[in-house]
Amino acid sequence: MKTLIIYYSLEGNTEMIANKMREHLQADIVRLMPKKDIPAGNIKKYIWGGKSALFGEKPELEPYEAKIEDYDIIVIGTPVWASTYAPAIGTFLSENKIQGKDIYLVACHGGGGSDKCFNKLEEKLQGNQIKGKIEFVDPTKGSNMEINERIKEFCKNILNP
Ligand SMILES: Cc1cc2nc3c(=O)[nH]c(=O)nc-3n(C[C@H](O)[C@H](O)[C@H](O)COP(=O)(O)O)c2cc1C
């Protein structure tokens, strides 16, 4: 079974989780990079990013290689922005037809909104099997041991569904 991890990360949380999962899953991994991203760190990120997410904007992405047809399992990782997925994920989903795949969803957030984010992703991913979901609260600030344990368990279920 071939696995692709596809993710967007503004400030490294989703990236950290995606990279840890890659080690367990021996997966290919693609980081989506908008050509013009919002500035990280600065408080204005909430205004620009929140607006972009709420309006369902689809920012143009740097070229990426993701031959969806080559994979059986797709892991999609996103930070929660205004209770939904990040706009770069929206671009990816509109550029790629994903059907009949086993999908695992990963969300990082600051404390809320992952359920709505998962619901919106599931809506977009109709025609696939959503096999698992996992969320983390700003994992770069959390306990590594607990995070590693949760990731290990989640990946075990992906490898032996
Ligand atoms: C534009 C924007 C909107 C956000 N909206 C939410 C939100 O609705 N709920 C929440 O819990 N966290 C929210 N956050 C916090 C991020 O989801 C959280 O810090 C996440 O771990 C960041 O992941 P990243 O480092 O991979 O970008 C928001 C962050 C940004 C930049």
ipTM for the predicted complex: 0.99
CATH no. for residue 44?
3.40.50.360
Domain count along the chain: 1
* Distance between Cα 9 and ligand 1 center (Å): 10
Give the pLDDT band (50/70/90) at residue 112. confident
Taking residues 111-121, report their average pLDDT: 94
Residue 77 host element (H or E): strand 73-81
Taking residues 89-114, report their average pLDDT: 96
Distances (CA, A) of 50 to 44, 54, 58, 87: 10, 6, 13, 9
- Please give the number of the atom of ligand 1 that sits closest to the Cα of 49: 1
**Burial class of residue 31 (count of CB atoms within 10 Å of its CB; 0-12, 13-18, 19+):** middle
* Distance between Cα 49 and ligand 1 center (Å): 9
Q: What is the pLDDT of residues 92-104, one digit of tens each?
A: 999 999 999 999 9
Cβ–Cβ < 8 Å for 50, 81 = yes
- C-alpha of 1 from chain center: 20
Q: Is ligand 1 within 6 A of the CB of residue 77?
A: no
CA distance 31 to 18: 9
Q: Is ligand 1 within 6 A of the CB of residue 14?
A: yes
The range of the structural domain enclosing residue 45 comes to: 3-159
Residue 156 host element (H or E): helix 144-159
Cβ–Cβ < 8 Å for 81, 55 = no
Res. 41: pLDDT tops 90: no
Give the pLDDT band (50/70/90) at residue 151. very high
* Distance between Cα 110 and ligand 1 center (Å): 6
Measured from the Cβ of residue 154, the count of other Cβ atoms closer than 10 Å reads 20
* Distance between Cα 160 and ligand 1 center (Å): 31
Q: Is ligand 1 within 6 A of the CB of residue 110?
A: yes
Residue located nearest, by CA, to atom 18 of ligand 1: 109
Res. 71: pLDDT tops 90: yes
Of 31, 43, 35, 36, whose CA–CA distance to 89 is shortest?
31
- Please give the number of the atom of ligand 1 that sits closest to the Cα of 46: 1
* Distance between Cα 68 and ligand 1 center (Å): 27
